Every structure is written in C-alpha cells, then in structure tokens.
Chains A and B, each alone.
Chain A
Amino acid sequence: GIQVEQSPPDLILQEGANSTLRCNFSDSVNNLQWFHQNPWGQLINLFYIPSGTKQNGRLSATTVATERYSLLYISSSQTTDSGVYFCAVPLNTGFQKLVFGTGTRLLVSP
C-alpha cells in the first residue's frame, strides 16, 4: 500500500518563528489533506490540496503531485499552533479511505 512519511518528526520553535513541514507519499494521489491535532485530540482540517498552493492566514500549503510531496508552511508561529500535524492521502481504490502520515509534533514556546 501507499506509504506516507512526514518530516521532521519533532520540531521546537520560539514564538514568532517560521517553519516548513514536509509530507512525502510513495504513489500518485488525487488529493491530500493536512490536519492539526490540538492538545485535546481534535483533528482540525487545515487544507484540502490536491495540487498547487493555498493560503489561510499564517498557514499555507503546497502540493507537487508529480513529485509526490506536500509542504505546510507556518509563519509567525504562536503557542496555539502547538500540537501534531498530519497529512493524509486517499487510497485510490473504492471509497478513498485516508492513509495518514506519521505526523510532526510541534511545540511553540513563548
């Protein structure tokens, strides 16, 4: 099956710093989702980004489907950005179940 790897596994930032999280996938996909799991365990949908670039406030994401990776950019990080960031891609069969990446655990300190 498709493999989804994320890097780095852990990241510690000072408030105000910028960061880039990476998601690599082993097979072609027709869409990709980024999630933020907050300290309460909720999965917050950040982006649905099959290809190209999208921006939402301080966050933006780029997917280069032909090269099988996606990047999530966090600018001017805040303590509330802390948590785990997951990318997920659908298995291109049947009903498109999502395969989640290994996650990047982000800690933003004040």
Chain B
Amino acid sequence: EPEVTQTPSHQVTQMGQEVILRCVPISNHLYFYWYRQILGQKVEFLVSFYNNEISEKSEIFDDQFSVERPDGSNFTLKIRSTKLEDSAMYFCAATRDSNQPQHFGDGTRLSIL
C-alpha cells in the first residue's frame, strides 16, 4: 500500500474554474504538506497542515488556495479561480513525525487552458 495516494493523476481545467486535488495518506500520518513544481523548475513548498489547521504557508499560497481534511482521511487542496500560471505538478506529502522523512504521492499534473 503506498504511503500517499493522489487523485486525479492529471487534471485539465479552463481558466477561472475551481479545482480540487485530493490526497489520501495512510492513517498514522499526522503532518501533511502540499508542494508545487512548475515545469522544468524545482519543487516549492505551498502549505503544511497539522491538527486540522494550517501550520505554515508560503507566499504562493494566497487567498485563491485553501486546504482541508474533511473526513479524517482525505486531504484536499482547492484552487478557487484558476489562472494559467497555476499549471504545475502538485505533490502531497505526509509524515508521522515532523522529524521523520516525508512521503510523497505521485503528484497531480494540473493544466490550465
């Protein structure tokens, strides 16, 4: 069983539409993260989440973004009104302890048209 499962693997959306990216970590993970990688660039931190609240967010994570863990298993990233520059690979990561390795999902490739 993979440590972290992400869906969908690829999402194509019209500019201005809302998207929700989903992540399911295995049950004993307590710390959750979203990262983003624009094509050809390095991976950048977006947000961390612990105990049902955001613990830290980057300057990229503006009011268009939100995260939640609605049911104790899914961890979602919502982009309210997508822009062309939101096109990227989005990775979810999770860990049991903040001093342990982070386990990454396979990513969702988001393409905004």
Residues of A within 8 A of B (CB): 30-31, 33, 35, 41-43, 45, 48, 86, 88, 90, 94-103
Q: Is B20 at the interface (CB under 8 A from chain A)?
A: no
Judge whether A97 and B104 touch: CB under 8 Å. no
- State whether A33 and B33 are in contact (beta carbons under 8 Å apart), knowing that A43-B43, A43-B107, A103-B42 are contacts in the complex: no
Total A-B residue contacts, Cβ distance less than 8 Å? 55
B86 within 8 A of A: no
Give the interface size class of chain B: 20 to 34
Contacting residue for B42 out of A30, A41, A101, CB 8 A: A101
Partner of B33, one of A43, A97, A102, A103: A97
B27 within 8 A of A: no
B65 at the interface (CB under 8 A from A): no
Q: In the bound complex, do residue A41 and residue B102 qualify as a contact, i.e. CB atoms below 8 Å apart?
A: no
Residues of B within 8 A of A94 (CB): 48, 55-56
